Amino acid sequence: MHLFVTLTHECNLKCSYCYGKCCDDFGSDEGEDDDDGFGDVDYDLPDNISYGVSDLRVFAEREPVENFIFYGGEPLLRLNTIYEMMDEVPAKRFIVQTNGLLLHQLEPSYLRRLHTLLVSIDGEEAVTDGYRGRGVYRQVLEQVRLARARGFTGEVVARMTVGRQTDIDTQVLHLLLETDGLFDSVHWQLDAQFWRSDYDPKGFSHWVRRSYRPRLLNLIEEWVKHMERKRRVLHIYPFLGVTETLLTGVPPGLRCGSGWAQLTVQTNGALAACPAMLGMKRYYFGNIRSGVQLGNSTLGSPCSSCQTLQLCGGRCLYANITKLWSETGFRLVCSTVKTLTNGLEAALPRVQSLLKYGDLSLSDFEYTKFNSCEIIP
Ligand code: SF4
Ligand code: SF4
């Protein structure tokens, strides 16, 4: 099993797509039907872990953990808890998902034991600072450079949040090709369907048609050209995951793993389907003290009958359940998934040709599964 472990809900940044929208969303469901997909929600989760690390150790001794992902809020605000858990809880890989600003505070001996750092950064300086605050871009690069200098040899994933200020092709290529090799790979998630109050059908649809979809196809073209010219596969997680399925034909399941390969330990020790579904009791899977119980992670309509399900995997359980942007908004986001899968399907013969003539091997497309990259943006 893979585990997200939410250490704290506190954060040292106030990014526009997270803190800003969280404030706007507060109270925006007034007058909505009580059963809007969330079900009975526990609003009293503690901000910091309220269970003992020894409870988690006993749990992990019973349920072997592969990827143990420190998550927040900002997990590096709780360094001592990270050290204690890395010393006591057995896990195959320790991974941190962080905004990166506090990496310098992490003891080098623990830093070097981490398998992966997922660092939030949205692309070039203007784009990143526009979403996340002035000076953040430069600080993140400096911190990753320092982590490398202190002996971190694992994977550094640039984790982007993609909104309407993002030109996806330019920003992804910047992170992979213009940052001195600091980032091994890139993953992104659309800033869509997470909150209710930010649904702007006209604006979002305009951006999807005019920018995101055509630029995504251009990024796929650049990705394949790079393989053809350099014999190297740029590690763009959404492309790796979908291409693997196209090459192998193995159905992926919900690619983030929520509720079937991966669970989240909330601050109170309850096991949730995913880090976004905090407090949603209908989707609990027991807790670390009593152990894992059977829970609910079934994808409903429209995913359950979608012809793209075998490639998409269902994109997001939380979005499928809550439909915060209505059915119309949901289908608009699906149109981006279909552009991704169709674009990669169209590129497949060129990829297969490189494999056939030995210019690349399947291992060039390998990536760590369930490391917090959800694959479908
Ligand atoms: S394309 Fe949309 S409807 Fe189809 S499986 Fe993916 S998220 Fe679900
Ligand atoms: S993709 Fe959706 S269900 Fe999966 S971890 Fe992210 S928010 Fe949760």
Mapping DSSP onto H, E and C, the string for 85-148 reads HHHHCCCCEEEEEECCCCHHHCCHHHHCCCCEEEEECCCCHHHHHHHHCCCHHHHHHHHHHHHH
Residue 376 lies in a domain: no
241-253 residue pLDDT tens = 999 999 999 999 9
Residue 51's pLDDT is 97
Find residue 4's DSSP bridge partners.
69, 264
For residue 241, being part of any structural domain is answered with yes
CA angle 67–70–75, rounded 5-degree value: 170
342 lines ligand 1 (CB under 6 A): no
Tell me the pLDDT band of 28, cut-offs 50, 70 and 90.
Answer: low
299 lines ligand 2 (CB under 6 A): no
- Flag whether 374 is in a domain: no
Q: Look at the chain and report how many structural domains it folds into.
A: 1
In this structure, is residue 248 part of a structural domain?
A: yes
The pLDDT tens digits for 151-186 are 999 999 999 999 999 999 999 999 999 999 999 999
Does the residue 89 lie in any domain?
yes
**Position 375 in a domain:** no
Q: Is residue 177 part of a domain?
A: yes
Q: Which domain holds residue 55?
A: 2-25+36-365
Would the CB of 318 count as within 6 Å of ligand 2? yes
Which residue minimizes the CA distance to atom 1 of ligand 2?
A: 316
309 lines ligand 1 (CB under 6 A): yes
Nearest CA to ligand 1 atom 8: 303
CATH code (residue 240):
3.20.20.70
Task: Please give the distance of CA 94 from its chain centroid, rounded to a whole number.
Answer: 16
CA distance 106 to 100: 11
Residue 30 lies in a domain: no
- Rounded Cα distance between 332 and 125, Å, is 29
CB-ligand 2 contact for 261 (6 Å cutoff): no
Would you state the pLDDT for residue 249?
93
From the CA of 316, how far away is ligand 2's center (Å)?
5
Q: Is the CB of 375 under 6 A from ligand 2?
A: no
Spatial neighbors of 272 by CB under 8 A, at least 6 apart, are 263, 264, 266, 278, 279, 280, 283, 284, 285
Confidence of residue 31 (pLDDT cuts 50, 70, 90): very low
